[in-house]
Structure 1
Amino acid sequence: MVQLFNIMSDGKYISCDYIPEQSGESGHIVVDLNTEEVSSVTFSNYEYGKKMYIARVRSKLLQLVNSGNRIPSEATAIWY
């Protein structure tokens, strides 16, 4: 599980802060909406799966953008 908060988009980029596994250790990610690639990341200090969480956050942000709905300020990505 990863919590996304402070989600913001300017039409060119979407960004958010994230906390993996309720660790309290936040990171930040920016995704380019044209290329759908991560353009900037500050990893959380949570010691496990840093790249896995970034991939999940990226996927969730793109899902929110592509849904056609208003982008919320907070979201959660859950998998099992």
Structure 2
Amino acid sequence: MREADLVGTIIITCLNGGILTFFGAIIKYFQAGDMMNFFNPKKHDKYKTSQIVGNGLLITALIVFSISFLGIFI
């Protein structure tokens, strides 16, 4: 693989991981789980929904960053 392709791939995956980290942190720490489409205040608890969705996005961001850095060595 050419060096330019590798650098572009790493930049794109790091940007995607950064966006996921940003949204995950906002949702988790500011309890913004109610901005999700499936949220119904009569059925769901805002705090629990924020924690679950925020943690999910942060874990996904960690996986994206891991794939990005793993791509450097492979």
TM-score, scaled to structure 2 = 0.39
Larger Rg: 2
Bigger fraction of residues in helix: 2
Higher relative contact order (CA 8 A, sep 6+): 2
